[in-house]
Structures are given as structure tokens and as C-alpha cells.
A and B are shown apart, each in its own frame.
Chain A
């Protein structure tokens, strides 16, 4: 094999090896393709990962616990209108729990912040977690109607 052919092979191999590696490390959270559904929100319909596809618990046909950790829970409600609830149960560091929960909400549903703001999403803190913060729907902090703790 001539030296020119060798150079061509090296260049081609470099392209074949490097680009997939760079793509692998820079792609967004590595989750396999999930079934998408359209959810109606106040701002219109948004395609999201099916909240019923891998739930933590199904309490009733209308109430699905999408995700539960010891700091927060994400629920999906299918009543007259579809909605999501993020319940912050970490009363010691609610601000930190909210930041993680909101990020997890976006990842779990596979939506960006703009689309998330179109959905009906409540974010609350129960009294047993933090009495001072209870009784208010704070919404998503990055949305125009979001309230800070």
C-alpha cells in the first residue's frame, strides 16, 4: 500500500472513529426513544414522553405517579384537563429540591423549557414538608407565571 493510500485510510478512519465518539459524549441524556403523546396545556398541545409508559405507581386511571424520590414527586393527572403536579417534599432544602425536580421534569417528559411552559404544571409544597411554603402553586420557576419560594 502506497503512502498516499495510507494517508487516505488514516483520514477516513479518523473521521469514522472521532465523529461518533464526539456525538456520543455530547448528545443529550442518553435515553432510548420513548413513546410520545400529545398533552393539552393552557398554551396548546405539546408532544411529551408518555407519562404512563414507565410510572412509579398508578393510583387510579386518572392519577399516575410519574416519578418519586425522597425530595420530590412528579404526578400526572387526567381529569377534565390534563395536568402535572410537582410536589416538593424536601422541607430542609426546598429550593435545591425544586431545581432538581424541574430539571428532572424536563428530562422525563423530553421537553424544553418553552414547551413545558405551555403545559398545565403546578408546583406545590405540602404542609408536612414546609408550613411556610405550603398553600401556594408556585409553577415552574423558568415560566413567566412562575413564583419564587
Chain B
């Protein structure tokens, strides 16, 4: 009977938890997993991120355990204080204090053990992306135009305003669009696909993904750092033979001003973008 009552309480508590946390969760049309709890965890803000919700729940649990332990220890201490030689009451008091401390230690050590084994075990990371149904979203073919867009950036070195005030002049908007597609405006970008097949070294670097096997950068003869080039869409057979020069070229191409200057030179101040793969999306 006692066991059944315990089970009932457990179910009520769990049910209450799920009622409080009933999420509106679904992978929406864009494939994003949204989570909207009905109520926030007490003491924490409402979050739409499930891992954060669980983390908040855990923190709330730790506070609850800590406060409960404190209350129980205080009660135990009071019992002990008022035992006045009654060994039975003193024993009960000691048991209350011991149980509270054990509970607290278990709650703390559970996290600590997992963290010591692997810190990632205490990092909740849930990522649910939409699966493409058969026949859905295909298109594009191999390396075609795809469904990408070409939107000028509004901040950073590749912003529309920055490039309009550079050598691109009135072609700054187009240049910003190309940069947005090629590198996403990342000055530190090293292509993960344009790589020499022999050693896996990136050949396209920086904001405009300047091809080091084809172009000199900042006075450095970058093509001579390679053998077997130049790297093109059909020829990936190359290898770095001068590592020092290659590193100098990479550093130079990651300098935003140098990279923009080189892109200006190659594109005729932004009048011809045929050398950039991004133009299959932008069609300038």
C-alpha cells in the first residue's frame, strides 16, 4: 500500500512537471525546432530553447535540494537540541541530519561525476533539423545556381556602405552581395571545399575567396607557392611546395583591405564577376 502511494505521488509530480512544461514543439516549415513552455521554471526566465529549459530545471532542482537539506538539518539540530538526554530522539535527530547531508552530496556528486568523466555529458545540445521528404526541395542539380540569394551585407568590411566607399564605388552593392555569398563577410575565411587534392590546403582565402594558385597578393608571388596548379573547378591537382610563402599569402589575403583591393583588380572595379562561383547565384 505504501509502495503504491509512493508510486502515485511520483506520477503526480511527473505529471505536474509535464503539464508545466507542455511545450509547443514542432519542426516548423523552415526546419527549426521551436519550444515554448507554458510556464517558466521559478526563478528563471521563459526560454524557447529546450536545452536551456532543462539546465534551468536542473539548477532549480539543486536549489530545491540545497534548501530542503538546510531545513532538514535545522529540524534535526532542533530535535537534537531538545533531546535533553532522550537517546531515541537524539538518534532520530542524527538520522535526519545524516539523511539530509547524504541527499545533498548525492545531488552534487551526480553532476560532478558526469563532469569529470566528460564535460560534454553535462552540456545538453539538441539539434533537430527538418528532413527533406522525397521529391522535396531537390532542384539545383549538381553545382547549379541553387536556391541561394545574394543580399548585400549591412555591417563589417563587406558592408554595402564600406564597399561603396572603396575602389568598387557604385558597384559596392554588387560587391557586397558577392562577398556575402563567397565568405559571408568573414575576413578569416579559408575555403573548406577549394583545396589542393594532394595536401588538402585551402586555396581560396578571405572575404572574396581570392584563389592563391592564380593570383599574386600584396606583391607576393602566391602561385609559385604551389605545384600542379592553378586550381580550377576542373583541376584540383595541386600541392603547396613553399609553406612559408603560402602562409604569408594566407595572412595577406586575410587582410580585409588587401583582399578588397585584389577583388577590385580582378573584377575591374566590380564590373565583371564571372570569375566568382557566387555569380551563379547573383547573376550580375
Contacts and interface: CB of A to CB of B under 8 A. Distances in A.
Note whether A and B form a binding pair: yes
Interface of A: 3-4, 6-8, 10-11, 14-15, 18-19, 21-22, 25-26, 57, 59-60, 62-63, 65, 68, 73, 75, 77, 79-81, 83, 85, 87-89, 91, 93, 95-96, 99-100, 103, 120, 122, 124-129, 131-137, 141-142, 148-149
Nearest to A93: B127
B70 interface: yes
B204 interface: yes
Given A79-B157, A91-B192, A128-B193, A10 B80 contact: yes
24 contacts: A6-B81, A7-B80, A11-B74, A59-B255, A75-B156, A75-B186, A77-B157, A85-B185, A85-B186, A88-B184, A99-B49, A126-B181, A127-B148, A127-B281, A128-B189, A128-B193, A132-B140, A132-B148, A133-B148, A134-B184, A135-B149, A137-B180, A148-B30, A149-B31
A89 B188 CA distance: 11
Interface of B: 28, 30-32, 48-49, 59, 62-63, 66-67, 69-70, 73-74, 76-78, 80-81, 83-84, 97, 104, 108, 111, 125, 127-129, 140, 146-151, 153-157, 159, 161-162, 177, 180-189, 191-194, 204, 209, 254-257, 277-278, 281-282
A80 B161 contact: yes
A26 to B, nearest CB: 5
A63 B162 CA distance: 14
Given A26-B59, A87-B189, A148-B28, A122 B155 contact: yes
List the 6 closest pairs (A to B, CB-CB), nearest first: A124-B184, A96-B127, A7-B81, A22-B66, A83-B155, A148-B30
Contacts of B104: 18, 21
B192 A89 contact: yes
Nearest to B181: A135
Contacts, number: 195
Contacts of B255: 59-60
B151 A141 contact: no
Given A73-B188, A85-B156, A96-B127, A128 B162 contact: no
A113 B188 CA distance: 26
Contact of A99 (B125, B140, B146, B154): B125
